[in-house]
């Protein structure tokens, strides 16, 4: 178990650099968490710490109620303000191994309008299996956002939700998978926004979306593992 915790600490700390690399965060905003395999625990970023100061040792270990595990590395710091939301997702979505939150520019602009991103490019069909939905406005600090994430994504193929007036939350099989979903969310949000400035966007038929999603999730790549369902 100690080895598993150490591995998740290292993964979660390192993956925050990907959020910076792809321009998904500014200052100390945003966060990543990863579930510890075989335990009711997850690791999450500390609150208000610069990305260049993050390390495996200052990642914070929490239980699935969002309580910091005392006496562990990082336990002298406050966890992310979104910890309760992450914990709720882990409690209620057993297949989720990673959660990411960003305020990436284009996706958050869609969230500010309270508008789902329509599935009008094949990259969306591949990655999300349809539109990226909008969750209701919720206040930061308790598990209200987590409730909205679970309610919105349950039974939905998308691994991303636009929280109205707030930003993006993504889920994945592990933290890296959730980061990929966050990167792809911003990419398609930008592309579809630009397309709409040029004129009417063209929908993809549902049967084609189903076919593209199945191929990408179960055939594409070296070791496909299937969708998170």
Q: Which residues are catalytic?
A: 126, 220
Instruction: Collect all residues with Cβ–Cβ distance below 8 Å to 110 and sequence separation of at least 6.
Output: 116, 117, 132, 134, 162, 189, 193
**Coil/strand/helix, residue 118:** coil
Token pair of 89 as six digits: 């997702």
Number of alpha carbons in the 13 Å side-chain half-sphere of residue 205: 3
Token pair of 152 as six digits: 């919105």
Chain centroid, CA 74 distance in Å: 22
β-bridge mates for residue 142, sequence order: 140
């Amino acid at each position: 178990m100690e080895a598993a915790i150490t591995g998740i600490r290292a993964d979660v700390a390192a993956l925050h650099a990907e959020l910076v690399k792809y321009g998904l965060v500014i200052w100390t905003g945003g966060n990543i968490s990863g579930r510890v395999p075989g335990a009711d625990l997850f690791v999450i970023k500390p609150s208000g710490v610069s990305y260049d100061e993050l390390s495996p040792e200052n990642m914070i270990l929490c239980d699935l109620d969002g309580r910091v595990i005392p006496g562990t590395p990082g336990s002298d710091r406050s966890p992310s303000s979104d910890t309760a939301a992450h914990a709720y997702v882990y409690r209620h979505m057993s297949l989720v191994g990673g959660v990411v939150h960003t305020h990436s520019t284009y996706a958050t602009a869609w969230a500010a309008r309270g508008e789902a991103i329509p599935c009008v490019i094949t990259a969306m069909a591949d990655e999300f299996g349809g539109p990226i939905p909008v969750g209701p406005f919720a206040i930061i600090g308790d598990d209200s956002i987590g409730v909205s994430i679970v309610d919105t994504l349950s039974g939905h193929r998308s691994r991303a939700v636009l929280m109205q007036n707030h930003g993006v939350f993504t889920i994945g099989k592990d933290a890296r998978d959730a980061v990929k979903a966050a990167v792809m969310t911003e990419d398609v949000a930008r592309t579809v926004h630009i397309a709409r400035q040029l004129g009417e966007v063209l929908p993809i038929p549902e049967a084609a979306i189903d076919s593209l999603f199945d191929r990408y999730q179960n055939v594409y790549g070296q070791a496909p593992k299937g969708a998170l369902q």
